Amino acid sequence: MSKAYMNYIAGEWCDSESGKRFDDINPADHGDVVGSFPQGNVQDVDRAVAAAQEAFDDWRLMPALTRGEIMKRVGDILLARKEELARLQTREMGKVLVETRGDVQEGIDTAYFAFGQASRLTGQTIPSELPNKFNMTTRIPLGVVGIITPWNFPLAIPTWKLFPALTSGNTVVFKPASDTPATATLLVEVLLEAGIPPLAINLVHGPGAETGKAIVDHPHIDAISFTGSSAVGKVINATAGGELKRVSLELGGKNAAIIMDDADLDLALEGVLWGAFGTTGQRCTATSRVIVHEQVYDDFLERLIEATKQLRLGSGLDDGVDLGPVINDAARDRIHQYVQTGSQEGGKLVLGGRFAQGDGLDSGSFYEPTIFTDVLPGMTIHDEEIFGPVLAVMKATSFTEAIELLNATDYGLSSSIYTNDVQAAFRAMRDIHTGITYVNGPTIGAEAHMPFGGVKNTGNGHREGGAAAYEFFSEVKTLYVDYSGTLQRAQIDNR
Ligand code: UN1
């Protein structure tokens, strides 16, 4: 019997009013059911929103520093339970233990950042145009925030949203991805144990098309924070944005690394391997294209193929494994479809391109690390986000062409350039059109206290991470205090 998990609504662990349940399956071993989860519906979301509304006044009126102290305890508990959370996460999501430990660490860092940030929810004082009048701004919470998160960072991404939302004084309805609901449930347990008031955090499990949609459509949800595909993000933006809700979207990527002819090729190789195949390519920051200067192209490609062959696939819980499974069979089929399209459209498959089988891999959703050459803008595998272990290697004849190729995409999350030429590095930082650029580092590995987000189809201009996240989860309020004792008309009405 697998464990029966619950929703958390209005201060109680409860089943869904739908009466339906779904299973959470280990992607490395389909016979291992992590648990069964209630499938939330519109009624559940209604109750969750009502509870969050009820909790809002007490929570917003609690001193921000007291809310921050709760975040400190959240960090402490996550730290104490790090290994347990990492193992559960690997079991339900598949990525290797070193990576799930890193994912939990990102949550710990985000909690401790929130602790500090609570004392820095500052406004400004600004001189008045009139005598005996004091002007200032403060930040106020938004109200009830809907938080919808993906499965690739089952703990870290929820913390990026939940912690600044709560620390800023909002209450929350949280819907985690259906592929990773167990880690999310544990996170809510941790928040409650640390002292978040029971009605301030509500957890509703279920699929995006039903549960997520109910949150996005709800008239009393004041803001939505979503990480996922650009296609879903556009729908959310149209619906919630149409109701003038504040919407923060972190969407797809088609990130590239440039390898210049003067680059340290050993360093570049390590960075590309980690960027492309870490998390089995399932990061929105994953390196899915590498643009290599023609002078070093043959050498780099040969070394890349050899090194990729050495990567070991297996259960993320086992020592010495580099790549876990992809999230489920549907994802594996979709990745394989991209690979076939890639070959049909003229890409040259030089490694992988198959389901990985044998050696204990048959009961999971494993896909071989895959490399294409001869990929050009306009091909499907160049233009679309694959979200799997598939890397396109491209050739550039110059720095200018490399930058043009890097920018030849509708996405703009992360990017990287390997070079030892300071001029090339600074030109790249200026001319690459992405939200994040690394010099001599891989496209993945954002730090939790830095702004995170992208341009073009990657998002709608907001940033997560660090202090920037707090701007989204609060609004500016402008305050005037007139202590002249007379009616002072503003200058516009005076002249
Ligand atoms: C994501 O894949 O949605 O920068 C986020 C990184 C991670 C976050 C990735 N810290 O690779």
Domain ranges of the chain: 3-251+459-478, 255-439
Alpha helices for 24-63 (secondary structure H)? 42-61
Rounded to the nearest angstrom, the distance between the alpha carbon of 316 and the centre of ligand 1 is: 18
How confident is the model over 263-284, as pLDDT tens digits?
A: 999 999 999 999 999 999 999 9
Rounded to the nearest angstrom, the distance between the alpha carbon of 67 and the centre of ligand 1 is: 27
From the list 66, 49, 1, 344, the residue with the least C-alpha distance to 200 is 49
Show the tokens assigned to 204.
Answer: 């509703």
How confident is the model over 424-433, as pLDDT tens digits?
A: 999 999 999 9
Name the DSSP class of 346.
Answer: T
How confident is the model over 464-485, as pLDDT tens digits?
A: 999 999 999 999 999 999 999 9
The mean pLDDT of the chain is 97
How confident is the model over 52-106, as pLDDT tens digits?
A: 999 999 999 999 999 999 999 999 999 999 999 999 999 999 999 999 999 999 9
The CATH H-level superfamily of 3-251+459-478 is: Aldehyde Dehydrogenase; Chain A, domain 1 (3.40.605.10)
Q: Quick one: pLDDT at residue 494?
A: 78
Ligand 1 contacts CB of residue 436 (under 6 A): no
**DSSP state letters, 121-139:** ----EE--SSTTEEEEEEE
Ligand 1 contacts CB of residue 254 (under 6 A): no
Contact predicate 223/212, CB 8 Å: no
Ligand 1 contacts CB of residue 11 (under 6 A): no
Ligand 1 contacts CB of residue 445 (under 6 A): yes
* Residue 373, beta-bridge partner list: 348
Q: Quick check: 126 pLDDT over 90?
A: yes
Q: Is the dihedral of CA 184, 189, 194, 195 positive or negative?
A: positive
Q: Quick check: 1 pLDDT over 80?
A: no
Q: Quick check: 492 pLDDT over 90?
A: no
Q: Quick one: pLDDT at residue 435?
A: 98
Residue whose CA is at the smallest distance from ligand 1 atom 3: 284
Determine the residue of 452, 458, 463 to mutate for testing ligand 1's pocket, defined as the one with the most ligand atoms within 8 A of the Cβ atom. 452
Chain-centroid distance, C-alpha 36: 24
Mean local confidence (pLDDT), 360-384: 98
* Type of residue found at 23: D
pTM of the predicted model, to two decimals?
A: 0.98
How confident is the model over 30-55, as pLDDT tens digits?
A: 999 999 999 999 999 999 999 999 99
User: Does residue 475 carry a catalytic annotation?
Assistant: no
Residue with tokens 């694959």: 386
Mean local confidence (pLDDT), 135-151: 98
255-439 placed in CATH 3.30.160.40: no
- Give the separation between CA 348 and CA 313, rounded to whole angstroms: 23
For residue 452, give the ligand 1 atom closest to its CA.
4
Ligand 1 contacts CB of residue 153 (under 6 A): yes
Q: Quick check: 350 pLDDT over 80?
A: yes
* Type of residue found at 106: E
Strand locations in 286-434 (E) = 287-293, 348-351, 370-373, 390-396, 411-412, 415-418
Ligand 1 contacts CB of residue 110 (under 6 A): no
Mean local confidence (pLDDT), 120-134: 97
Asked whether this chain's domains 3-251+459-478 and 255-439 adopt the same fold, the reply is: no
Mean local confidence (pLDDT), 140-154: 98
Within 8 A by CB and 6+ apart from 337, the residues are none
For residue 150, give the ligand 1 atom closest to its CA.
3
User: Does residue 284 carry a catalytic annotation?
Assistant: yes
| % of residues, the chain, pLDDT over 90 | 98
Longest dimension (CA), the chain: 85
Contact predicate 442/271, CB 8 Å: yes
